[in-house]
Amino acid sequence: MRKLFILLLVPLLIITSCSEKENTNFVFVEGGSFKNTNSTYYNKDVTVSNFYIGKYEVTQKEWVEIMGSNPSEFQGENLPVENVNWYDCVEYCNLRSSKEGLEQYYTIDKNKKDPYNDNVLDEIKWNVTINEGAKGYRLPTEQEWEFAAGGGQMSKNYTYSGSNTINEVGYYWCNSGDKDLKGTKWQWSALQSNHCKTKPVGSKAPNELGIYDASGNVREWCWNWHTDASAPKGRVLKGGGWIGADYCCEASFQGNYEANGKGSDTGFRLCRGE
């Protein structure tokens, strides 16, 4: 009887261990209204529900484990994956969910074009819908992303995610290379000669919730469409990146990019429902 108990207990311990290991890479975010006075949604009738969000941007190691190849320009297991478009990211979410026994959050129809997407630069236009209540991995909504980056219920009203000083929490064009370029005019040649690039995730200080790199390193895809009706339809990017200006790294900044767009400064972070 004792032998049978041990045999039954071993797989349970393995499952529990894997689950605990996975949970260490996610932060629980208590929902509610926006506390950060710098937020786009502060003092507006906008609330978010409880959710989990990745402590770190998805790494190249995590990407390769699911997708089998590495599209990144700057190679390194602990560097954020980049050169991924929005469609790549939702597909990753579903495949990782399936691998871990979770219900997929997205239904992806590659043979049907999204009727809302009229961006001529986007030739993919997969029709992607959500499965309400599914606990699989997904991209955060813009509101969830900004809420978490801004410190959630523990917000200290920082401009960037975790500080009012960008160098403390994020990599942008002035500090992502060999030397500090502050005071230098932005030029692509200056970034190249300074060897500016992505950095290992978690290298800077976290924000109030223990989230890293929400300001800088790579821009992060969100679920939502960009809200500027005068611009070509694109999905929201948040957080700025190693290649851009400090103001792009502000938690409230809303970037816009066609969903099939890729770049060496463009990655993502995972999210899950409670």
pLDDT tens-place string over residues 166-192: 999 999 999 999 999 988 899 999 999
Looking at this protein, which amino acid is placed at residue 149? A
Please measure the distance between the N-terminal and C-terminal CA atoms of the chain and give it in whole angstroms.
Answer: 38
- Comparing 14 with 25, the larger pLDDT belongs to 25
pLDDT confidence of residue 38 = 97
- Which domains are seen in the chain, by residue range? 29-273 (3.90.1580.10)
Instruction: Collect all residues with Cβ–Cβ distance below 8 Å to 46 and sequence separation of at least 6.
Output: 33, 34, 143
Average pLDDT over residues 77-91: 98
Whether pLDDT at 57 is above 90: yes
User: Is it the case that residue 7 has pLDDT exceeding 50?
Assistant: no
For residue 264, what are the CA distances in angstroms to 44, 162, 198, 217?
35, 24, 8, 10
Q: Give the pLDDT score at 161.
A: 98
Q: Which residue has the higher pLDDT, 268 or 2?
A: 268
pLDDT in tens, 241-256: 999 999 999 999 999 9
Instruction: Flag the least confident range among 56-70, 142-156, 227-241.
Output: 227-241
Confidence of residue 23 (pLDDT cuts 50, 70, 90): low
Q: Which residues of 178-215 are buried (b: 16+ CB within 10 A; e: fewer)?
A: eeebeeeeeeeeebeebebbbbebbebebbbbebbbbb
pLDDT > 80? residue 225:
yes
Q: How far is CA 235 from the centre of its chain?
A: 13
CA distances from 12 to 4, 97, 114, 188, 262 (A): 13, 20, 43, 53, 41
**Predicted confidence (pLDDT) at residue 259 exceeds the cutoff of 50:** yes
Cβ neighbours for 67, distance < 8 A, ≥ 6 positions apart: 88, 92, 95
In this predicted structure, the answer to whether residue 269 has a pLDDT above a threshold of 60 is: yes
pLDDT of residue 227: 85
- What is the reported pLDDT for 222? 98
Q: What angle do CA 100, 57, 68 make, to 5 degrees?
A: 50
Is the pLDDT at 9 greater than 80? The verdict is no
Which pLDDT band holds residue 20 (cuts at 50, 70, 90)?
very low
Task: Quote the pLDDT of residue 11.
Answer: 45
Return the sign of the alpha-carbon dihedral for residues 273, 163, 89, 70: negative
* Confidence band for 102, pLDDT divided at 50, 70 and 90: very high
Residue 117 has pLDDT above 90, yes or no: yes
In degrees, rounded to 5, the angle at the alpha carbon of residue 272 between the alpha carbons of residues 234 and 50 is: 105
Supply the DSSP symbol for 46: -
What percent of the chain shows pLDDT beyond 70?
Answer: 92
The whole-number pLDDT of residue 274 equals 86
